[in-house]
Amino acid sequence: MDVLDKLTVLTDAAKYDAACTSSGGNRRAKQGYIGNTSTSLAGCCHTFSADGRCVTLLKVLMTNCCVYDCKYCVNRRSNETRRAAFTPEELADLTVNFYRRNYIEGLFLSSGVLRSPDYTTELMIRALRLLRETYRFNGYIHAKAIPGTAPELVEQLGFLADRLSVNIELPSETGLKVLAPDKTKRAILTPMRQIQIRNHQSREELVKYRHAPKFAPAGQSTQLIVGATADNDLRILRLTQGLYDRYHLKRVFYSAYVPTVEHALLPAKDVKPPLLREHRLYQADWLLRFYGFRAEELLDEEQPDFDPRVDPKCSWAIGHLSFFPVEVNTADYESLLRVPGVGVTSARRILAARRTGPLHIENLQKLGVVMKRAQYFLTASGKTANGLRFTPDSLLRSLIAAERPLLPQPPMEQLSLFHSAV
């Protein structure tokens, strides 16, 4: 099998991994090297840098051969699929040639488990070392740390990559035992802890020694599959919160389960991926990271799943009407962030603008406030929007109506005035 055939197989096999972002990378241009992570413009797999620019990454597997038999995975050993594997030399040469042709600006490298986690990681390290040392590639590299890999190999991988990630895959240990019997919770969390500790040590060393080597300077991330098990949104969000609190992850990615294989323990192949549920989890994740919310505020045992009709922030606001209205001229930053339609940027603009004088309702839209949501939950100089009257039921209907155009719409149906004869 030639390199292009391998590329076709291994890029297709990598498409189900969602944990792909370059946010946080700041590797600058260096004399004698090619590539960087700070001047990305556009791009095969699209992701976004910390400053919002679109970046192209070659998203590929080292191999789709795997000794594991995870029930949900298209690359599991019992699944009949076309197999391929890059040599480290092939992958390094391919990445550099793609970069020189301006196809990509970085590499996202994952892999099935060939022989063992250690053997597979050694192949990945050889490929990345060729890129960094032989080809002097200075661009962004995101590498997957395979659960069960020896700590010394994870260490080597972290000094070659900008970001590491360990996929936790399923929200519960029970789900792992049933659907991924070759993986354990401990095997997944151990490298997570190692990456967190080593990254912190690396930052401390850089304070003392300017040219100290950097260990995964863009941090680590992980991915959760949504919909493969019966776990509710509350369990997923509690797990997410725990990962942020204990392991200081940069991102938790959610991947709606796409039925690719038949199995009695999995949804049928004709079941559509829960994309709206995935969207609501991303919105809730944003609330955890930037808006000061906690998982137990958004969901509880009585309501363990998000209302698909409205976003999680609006849902929380409807359930806590006693907190509102918020007066924009006196409220603190944290209270402003609780108002639907007020984001991080617009809250900061409100704080800055009110220093020069009192704000009025007509000023808020110019500051970036989404008034079709916010108007129900705030006042400006003691006044609400003109003619605004609502009950809890009418408020819910209004928010659902405001949300509907932003959601995927059902396909249009061509109508006919005449029915064909039977």
Q: What is the mean pLDDT of the chain?
A: 89
Q: With bands split at pLDDT 50, 70 and 90, how would you rate the model's confidence at 50?
A: low
What's the pLDDT at 142?
Answer: 94
Return the pLDDT at 420. Answer: 59
Residue 42 has pLDDT above 50, yes or no: no
d(CA 350, CA 369): 9
pLDDT value at residue 91: 96
The pLDDT of residue 41 is: 32
Please count the other Cβ atoms lying within 10 Å of the Cβ belonging to residue 320: 12
CA separation for the pair 357, 355 (Å, rounded) = 6
**Cβ pair 311, 283 in contact under 8 A:** yes
Q: Report, as an integer, the average pLDDT of 166-190.
A: 92
Least confident window among 238-247, 323-332, 410-419: 410-419
pLDDT at 409 over 90: no
Peptide bond into 325 cis (omega under 30): yes
Distances 67 to 87, 171, 181 between C-alpha atoms, Å: 18, 22, 12
Lowest-confidence segment of 32-36, 353-357, 407-411 by average pLDDT: 32-36
* Whole-number pLDDT of residue 17: 76
Helices (H) and strands (E) in the chain, counts: 15, 9
Q: What is the mean pLDDT of residues 393-421?
A: 78
Residues 6+ apart with CB under 8 A from 84: 1, 5, 6, 9, 10, 63, 64, 65
CA distance to 119, 120, 397, per residue, from 115 (Å): 6, 7, 56
* Structure confidence at residue 4 as a pLDDT band (50, 70, 90): confident
Q: What is the pLDDT of residue 54?
A: 67
pLDDT in tens, 191-220: 999 999 999 999 999 998 888 999 999 999
* Interatomic CA distance for residues 168 and 385, integer angstroms: 46
Whether residue 258 has pLDDT greater than 80? yes
pLDDT of residue 406: 73
Whole-number pLDDT of residue 415: 74
Q: What is the pTM of this model?
A: 0.87
Domains of the chain as residue ranges with CATH: 3-296 (3.20.20.70), 312-406 (no CATH)
Is residue 127 within 8 Å of 88, Cβ to Cβ?
yes
118-160: pLDDT as tens digits: 999 999 999 999 999 999 999 899 999 999 999 999 999 999 9
Share of the chain above pLDDT 70, in %: 88
Distance of alpha carbon 338 from alpha carbon 297, whole angstroms: 12
Residue 195's Cα: distance from chain center in Å?
18
What would the mean pLDDT of 54-72 be, rounded to a whole number?
Answer: 90
Q: What is the pLDDT of residues 295-346, one digit of tens each?
A: 999 999 999 999 999 999 999 999 999 999 999 999 999 999 999 999 999 9
Looking at the DSSP bridge assignments, the partners of residue 256 are 226
- Per-residue model confidence (pLDDT) at position 47: 58
Label residue 53 by pLDDT band (50, 70, 90).
Answer: low
Q: Which of 33-47, 112-126, 160-174 has the lowest mean pLDDT?
A: 33-47
pLDDT for 103: 87
Structure confidence at residue 48 as a pLDDT band (50, 70, 90): low
Burial of 393 (0-12, 13-18, 19+ CB in 10 A): exposed
* Arithmetic mean of pLDDT, 348-353: 97
User: Residue with structure tokens 């197989």?
Assistant: 9
pLDDT digits (tens, 9 = 90+) for 261-282: 888 889 988 889 999 999 999 9
